[in-house]
A and B are shown apart, each in its own frame.
Chain A
Amino acid sequence: MAERGAPLLETRGVGMRFGGVKAVEDVDFRLEEGELRCLIGPNGAGKSTFFRCLTKQYQPTSGTVLLRGRDVTRAPTHAIARQGVGIKTQVPNVFDGLTVRENLRLAATARHRGRAIDEACDQAIERLSLKAIGGHRLDRLSHGQRQWVELAMVVTSRPALILLDEPTAGMTHAEVEHTAALIQELNRDSALIVVEHDMQFIRSIATGVTVFHQGRIFADGTAETIMRDPRVGEIYLGKRNLLS
């Protein structure tokens, strides 16, 4: 049952262990409809693992995951996707043997039928300037191009909740700005959680920031307060604060 006024996403005590390694531990997380949140934290903090616990690419070893108040802890990946959760993983996870357009069509079939599929693909191709490579197979593309295709796949399926894991990694300055604009545009219809390391980028898009450290939530707040928090600076880069 969906509760009234329940947040879009809520986790209660979510944990993920790999053998003896506690990659994610006891995470209570809330995201409201329409929110845009950045997730930061040092390497190995558990950000990517947390994402995979949300999409059930990993089955969390403890805790509860709720989407709009509905318990989806046991739901498989495809059911989560159908409830409107889209993910762009850190390593581009695409269909190498298919063309760009076929990858987009596939993403679109999750949410659309018939003509709407082609329209959604056309829009994404237009929006992300992929026209020139529409017929190329993914294994012929550069790492950067594959990133854009995966972003386009998320755009095409228009999920209610979008998870982006380091979307700007390896991008040029102009591409980063392009991505920031895209994220804000996506945020008009969807809530987003974005894993990022680039503070400049975070400040240009974010309202809220959550800091992960050693699998746990370490701090929570606005971009400004988090960046001025000396404790965060220390765990993050050993710096006094993130603005220096």
Chain B
Amino acid sequence: MAIAAIQILNTMASLALISLGLAVIFGMMRVMNFAHGELLMLGAYSVQFANAYGVNIWIAMFVVAPVVVGLIGILIERLVIRHLYGRMMDTLLATWGLSLFITGLVTMVFGNVTRGLSTPLGSFEIGGIRDSSYKFLIIGVTIALFVAIYAVLRHTRVGLIARATMDNPRQVGVMGINPGYVYTATFAVGAALTGLAGAIMAPLTGVLPTMGAAYIGKAFITVICGGDAIFAGTASAAVLFGLINQTTTILLTPEFGEVALLLGALLMLRILPSGLSSLFSRRAV
């Protein structure tokens, strides 16, 4: 029972973690980033690569991966996204093209092989069942990230500027704020969080060029079903779908778990078309 609870918490946290960067970018900028899975993949490569070259695993995971992918995010925003603001369809197509391009490039450079990364932290045992202690790390980091983002948005100057830009982008210029900087910074933060998520997931999934495809669907479902209150929504959708997915996985098989998640999402959007957060909040954050 305790093991089941930990597994369910872990699935919830993993969903929230892989969706967080997407939530930042979609929530703040209304940009549907179809290259989200590839940013996760680049985070995974960053940690694997840095670690293979002797960088301490924690530094590779918590510093190298987010910094590398954050910088790539700046590049993507400046070269592609910036020219397409307000054009949802064009942005979608452009980022989809970008995802193919990044996958192709990484395949060319690193080859279409799965690279491994040993899971740190060993294992724990409850009632005769062993499981990886890494699950606690995923749960802890996810909670810490959500709390940190909430605190920054609510209580800092930067957070105030971010919320204002989200609220009324045409008016922030009048306040002396350059909306271009805000968008670049937001995209960079979203990308960095995504890179970190990819790095954290890397030891569990292995690292290969096409790994992004496994994440993108779930991340989109979680963010979309979350609704307008982007962070509370994403968190609550992750909790709901994590519960459905992992419970079904324990009772039946992982395949049924995935199917149950999808059915749950469809049903939920049918009942609550404006997302889970419409139940409890009108706030944007």
Contact = CB atoms under 8 A, between A and B. Distances in A.
A176 interface: no
Contacts of B167: 95-98
A109 interface: yes
B118 interface: no
Given A78-B179, A93-B168, A97-B284, A102 B160 contact: yes
B271 interface: no
A78 B170 CA distance: 11
B174 interface: yes
Contacts of B174: 55, 57, 77-78, 81, 86-87, 93
A82 interface: yes
A76 B164 CA distance: 18
Nearest to A109: B157
A95 B171 contact: yes
Interface residues of B, number: 20
Interface in B93-113: none
Interface string B153-172: 00001001101101110111
A173 B168 CA distance: 32
A56 B174 CA distance: 9
A105 B160 contact: yes
A107 B163 contact: no
B161 A106 contact: yes
A94 interface: yes
B177 interface: yes
Contacts of A110: 175-177
Interface of B: 157, 160-161, 163-164, 166-168, 170-179, 283-284
9 contacts: A78-B174, A78-B176, A81-B175, A81-B176, A93-B174, A96-B168, A105-B157, A107-B175, A157-B175
